[in-house]
Structure 1
Amino acid sequence: MSLVGSTKRQLQLFRDDGWNSLMMKVSAFCEKHELETVEMEADFVDSKRRRKKTGVSNMHHYKVNCLYAVLDIQLQEFNDRFNEVNTELLICVASLSPIDAFSEFDHSKLLRLSKFYPDDFSSGEFISLEQELSIYIDNVRNDDRFSNLKNLGDLARLLVETRKHMSYPLVYRLLKLVLILPVATATVERCFSAMKIIKTHRRNRIGGSIFE
């Protein structure tokens, strides 16, 4: 999530102050390869409608309609995929990681993670999970079989092989929910992609109630 934040800040910085440096690189490239440069103050001419005036300069077209438009799409995509809720969810998920002897383990974050699944944990199980997590982390950290795990899939597999999933059923349930998260998300996104194909503007005019 730290890298996501840095990427968003760099994209925003480039949007705010990157135009001049970009144009310097473009000019140097054109000069090196003897290419004709575009006069930025001249009127922009649409190659598909040359006779129709666009009313904007080349500067406005390439800076606003091209560069800014692409950067805004990228920033919006980051904000949509990594909103406040998703960000907190991913940070909490990282606390289950077995890498480096479970160095990322955080008791409070895992309890917050369970709150994302109110239908899977009863109020009594929330209380039991708090106690179970303390015993679980002490046990796996002192078990050499869990010392070299690299991902959550390996952790889940070894919990079953050692039958510890029966000793820590709530932790194992939380782990399973985390493991299916990418698959569930991808399935939902594929459904929306399919809806975009089915629910076109023309079909919407016929009637949209069947899609709601």
Structure 2
Amino acid sequence: MESYQFVFIAQLMNKVLGLMNIFSHFLQQKDQNIIEVVSLVKSTKAKFQDLRESGWNDLLEDVNSFCVKNKIDILNMKEMNHRSRRVRHPITNYHHFRVDIFCQVIDQISLEMENRFSESNTELLTCLACLDPRDKFSNFCETKLLNLVELYSCDFSFIDQMELKEQLQVWIYEMRTNELFSGVQTISEVCKKMVELKVHNSFHLVYRLIELALVLLVVTATIERVFSVMNIIKTDLHNKMRDDYLTDCLVCYIERDVFRSIDNEIIMQHFQNMKTRMLDLPQL
């Protein structure tokens, strides 16, 4: 814990986690504004790029200052790294700390963010945000919604797309002027209110577009969660498991909130009652 490399990595993680902290807290909020999410994704990516390009000197200064205060030996960045002496092409401490650690950590995080929040995904979220009812549909953009519909030609024919354009103009006017829709806060509430007032038949194409938006929001989040837990479930021991058993295992991780609400005693009793066993499970 008193080595220079330990201090360097600790200071680097402090900066990295500091940048991710605001972003992580915002994503955990239930009342997210999609436009703000997209904006925060872009700004977080930019901050990591700025850290990579111009944050080295500040980090090195913080590391050296900490080492001086705690009487830890400071390495000379121009000297050869002692771990690379056995390598055919030895490297300096500067190369080891800046290229192998500093840049590699930032590049890995940037790559992960790019994979999870790619340009196509952020563009999709921006299109879906046009249906956000908050502030009287302040994010509404007819052009973006029509562009989204073009991607799903199986659900919207060319004639449907032409008719949808006219429906959207009348629909958005109805949403902004009808007091019955003033209290809705989410896209799903808009959908429910349209059914309650029986206006979903009049705006059947807009209603279909809202259904598509709700499906995309759920599917995108579900797929992300599935891939996140694959590394936990798909181990060497489980590589040959059947698809149905794999699905059951994934559900436990994907729907954590549901499974946390089930008492362990109920699970044990269900397992006990499945068939006669030699021993009874102990009470919790």
TM-score range, shorter chain: 0.7 to 0.9
Secondary structure at 1:166 match in 2: coil
Distance 1:101 1:32, change over 3 A: same
Q: Are 1:52 and 2:86 an aligned pair?
A: yes
AA matched with 1:127: M
In the alignment, what sits opposite 2:43? 6
Across the aligned residues of Structure 1 and Structure 2, the Cα RMSD in angstroms comes to 2.7
Distance 1:113 1:155, change over 3 A: same
User: Which of 38, 41, 61 matches 2:75?
Assistant: 38
TM-score (norm 2): 0.62
User: Which of 195, 204, 215 matches 1:160?
Assistant: 195
AA matched with 2:47: Q
* Deviation of the 1:187 alpha carbon: 4.4
AA matched with 1:115: E
Distance 1:199 1:28, change over 3 A: closer
* Deviation of the 1:198 alpha carbon: 6.2
Q: Are 1:70 and 2:105 an aligned pair?
A: yes
Q: Whose relative contact order is higher, 1 or 2, with alpha carbons under 8 Å and at least 6 apart?
A: 1
* Contact map agreement 1:101 1:148 (CA 8 A) in 2: no
* Contact map agreement 1:100 1:148 (CA 8 A) in 2: no
Q: For residues 219 and 193 of structure 2, what CA distance do their matches in structure 1 show?
A: 23
66-75 or 79-88: bigger deviation? 79-88
- Spell out, residue by residue over 1:67-115, the C-alpha distance to the aligned partner (whole angstroms, 9 max, x if none): 1111112222333334333232222111111010111111111111111
* Contact map agreement 1:95 1:106 (CA 8 A) in 2: yes
Q: Are 1:106 and 2:148 an aligned pair?
A: no
Q: For residues 187 and 59 of structure 2, what CA distance do their matches in structure 1 show?
A: 42
Q: For residues 26 and 130 of structure 1, what CA distance do their matches in structure 2 show?
A: 59
178-187 or 188-197: bigger deviation? 188-197
Identity %: 37
* Deviation of the 1:199 alpha carbon: 10
AA matched with 1:174: L
User: Which of 120, 126, 132 matches 1:85?
Assistant: 120
In the alignment, what sits opposite 1:181? 216
Unaligned runs of 5+ in 1: 204-212
In the alignment, what sits opposite 1:208? none
* Contact map agreement 1:132 1:170 (CA 8 A) in 2: yes
Unaligned runs of 5+ in 2: 1-37, 240-284
Question: 4+ residue stretches of structure 1 with deviation over 6 A?
Answer: 195-200
* Deviation of the 1:29 alpha carbon: 1.8
AA matched with 2:77: M
AA matched with 2:177: N
In the alignment, what sits opposite 1:22? 59
Q: For residues 163 and 128 of structure 2, what CA distance do their matches in structure 1 show?
A: 19
* Deviation of the 1:31 alpha carbon: 2.1
6-15 or 157-166: bigger deviation? 157-166
